[in-house]
């Protein structure tokens, strides 16, 4: 078995009433910032057909790249978080202790790799 060091998650949340245009602006700023990161593999946002539910899929090379991303967008997060009610987050991958500490305030759950291609 080849174990990947990738870290990834999918976040789902309800867009708050009247915040659709604001969340689009917040997302654009975060995407622009994330494009500068070598370790970002996926940073994809989707919106339900009725414009009420946001889905975000993120994937990073490893824990270090994930920490780099968190530092890179931390000043942009309040604008995003203010527009959406997020569901609980599960992070997939073998996270470093430092990465788990960085996520402590969010109350996330972790899933470790069992098997993969």
- Is residue 116 situated within a structural domain? no
Tens of pLDDT along the chain (117 residues) come to 456 899 999 999 999 999 999 999 999 999 999 999 999 999 999 999 999 999 999 999 999 999 999 999 999 999 999 999 999 999 999 999 999 999 998 889 999 888 777
φ, ψ for residue 87 (rounded to 5)?
-80, 165
21 falls within a domain: yes
Q: How many CB atoms lie within 10 A of CB 9?
A: 20
Q: What tokens appear for 79 in the block? A: 């604008």
Domain that holds residue 76: 7-111
Half-sphere exposure of 2 (CA within 13 A, CB side): 3
Is residue 85 assigned to a domain? Answer: yes
**pTM of the prediction?**
0.91
The answer to whether residue 45 sits within a structural domain is: yes
Interatomic CA distance for residues 113 and 8, integer angstroms: 11
Q: What is the CATH number of the domain that holds 30?
A: 3.30.70.100
User: Residue 34 falls within a domain, yes or no?
Assistant: yes
Structural domains of the chain, count? 1
CA distances for 13 relative to 27, 48, 86, 116, angstroms:
13, 10, 4, 28
Which of 48, 41, 40, 42 is closest to 12 using CA atoms?
A: 48
């Amino acid at each position: 078995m080849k174990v990947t060091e990738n870290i990834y998650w999918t976040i789902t949340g309800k867009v708050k009433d009247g915040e659709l245009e604001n969340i689009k602006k917040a997302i654009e700023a975060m995407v622009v910032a994330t494009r500068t990161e070598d370790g970002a593999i996926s940073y994809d946002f989707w919106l339900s057909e009725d414009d009420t539910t946001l889905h975000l899929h993120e994937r990073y090379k490893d824990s270090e790249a994930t920490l780099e991303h968190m530092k890179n967008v931390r000043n942009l997060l309040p604008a995003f978080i203010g527009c959406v009610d997020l569901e609980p987050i599960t992070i997939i991958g073998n996270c470093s202790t430092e990465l788990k500490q960085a996520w402590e305030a969010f109350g996330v759950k972790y899933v470790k790799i069992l098997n993969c291609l």
